[in-house]
Amino acid sequence: MSGSSHHEHDHSLAGQVKAATGESVFNCYQCGKCSAGCPLGPEMDLAPNQVLRVLQLGLPALEEEALKAESIWLCLACETCATRCPQEVSIPKIMDYLREEALRRGVANPKAKDILAFHRSFLDSIKKNGRLHEVGLISAYKMRTMHVFQDVNVAPKLLMRGKLKILPHKIKGRDAIAAMFDRCAAASAHAGQTTGHHDEADKR
Ligand code: SF4
Ligand code: SF4
């Protein structure tokens, strides 16, 4: 689509996406193949191509709707859309940026809270044990969300079948993994300082 160079250098959401990810939403010509193949498409309030269309239009009120959408939190980063796209637009990268931006602006969809709590609990488990400890993950998730009794009847069956281990199995080299997490956190904090952005997620 023409007119892209103008948008990519202004402060529109499309321009921010381009600067942060290298992806230009103006490469999309709205064929819809991405949305047709997206496994989460039927659950989304804005289909992947519609998210791109909103960014192409560059209207602040619509951009905010995209940032408030549940879709950006439902995206699994499965890459199906990117594989199908004739223009090689990486929607997962764009969705990832939109999630960060929604948190920075404090407009994230309320349903994002549980999804974020799950991500946080998952990463904490990896940082602590070097691998996933499912029981620790579930406990941390429930504490964060207060969904204490959700799926509680499933746990005994999984424990009986040996699918859940009460104690974590820790791998060697956990210090190296924890250091990797710390480096990522420091780089993220530095990026926040240089851009003036402060992630709302840090407060959760
Ligand atoms: S498949 Fe690519 S070109 Fe087609 S609508 Fe999706 S992002 Fe746009
Ligand atoms: S990466 Fe996200 S938007 Fe693309 S097909 Fe997978 S779930 Fe859908």
Contact of 44 with 71, CB cutoff 8 Å: yes
Q: What is the pLDDT of residues 138-150, one digit of tens each?
A: 666 666 666 655 6
Range of the domain at 142: 112-197
Q: Is the same domain home to 120 and 171?
A: yes
**Ligand 1 atom at minimal distance to the Cα of residue 49:** 5
- Tell me which of 90, 105, 120 is where a domain ends: 105
Q: Is the same domain home to 28 and 52?
A: yes
Ligand 1 binding pocket includes 55 (Cβ within 6 Å): no
Q: What is the pLDDT of residue 192?
A: 57
**Ligand 1 atom at minimal distance to the Cα of residue 35:** 6
Q: Is the same domain home to 10 and 98?
A: yes
Q: Is residue 203 included in any domain, yes or no?
A: no
Q: What is the pLDDT of residue 25?
A: 97
Average pLDDT, the chain: 80
How far is Cα 37 from Cα 18, in angstroms, rounded to an integer? Answer: 24
Q: Is the same domain home to 74 and 146?
A: no
Separation of CA 94 and ligand 2 centre (Å): 11
- Tell me which of 48, 74, 105 is where a domain ends: 105
pLDDT at 112 over 70: yes
Q: Whose CA is nearest to atom 4 of ligand 2?
A: 81
Ligand 1 binding pocket includes 29 (Cβ within 6 Å): yes
For residue 33, what is the domain's CATH number?
1.10.1060.10
Q: Is the same domain home to 119 and 45?
A: no
Q: Is the same domain home to 95 and 13?
A: yes
**167 pLDDT band (50/70/90 cuts)?**
low
Residue among 28, 79, 91 whose CB has most ligand 2 atoms within 8 A, to mutate: 91
Q: Is residue 122 included in any domain, yes or no?
A: yes
Q: Is residue 16 included in any domain, yes or no?
A: yes
The total number of structural domains in the chain stands at 2
Distances (CA, A) of 129 to 117, 170, 180, 182: 18, 5, 13, 15
Q: Is the same domain home to 87 and 121?
A: no
At 153 the three-state DSSP class reads coil
pLDDT at 123 over 80: no
Q: Which ligand is nearest to the CA of 86?
A: 1
Q: Is the same domain home to 43 and 128?
A: no
Q: What is the pLDDT of residue 155?
A: 59
pLDDT at 1 over 60: no
| Residue with more model confidence, 202 or 19 | 19
Q: What is the pLDDT of residue 45?
A: 93
**161 pLDDT band (50/70/90 cuts)?**
low
Q: Is residue 89 included in any domain, yes or no?
A: yes
Residue among 43, 52, 81, 88 whose CB has most ligand 2 atoms within 8 A, to mutate: 81
- Tell me which of 105, 128, 163 is where a domain ends: 105
pLDDT at 201 over 50: no
Q: What is the pLDDT of residues 27-59, one digit of tens each?
A: 999 999 999 999 999 999 999 999 999 999 999
Ligand 1 binding pocket includes 34 (Cβ within 6 Å): yes
- With a CB cutoff of 8 Å and minimum separation 6, the contacts of 40 are 71, 74, 75, 76
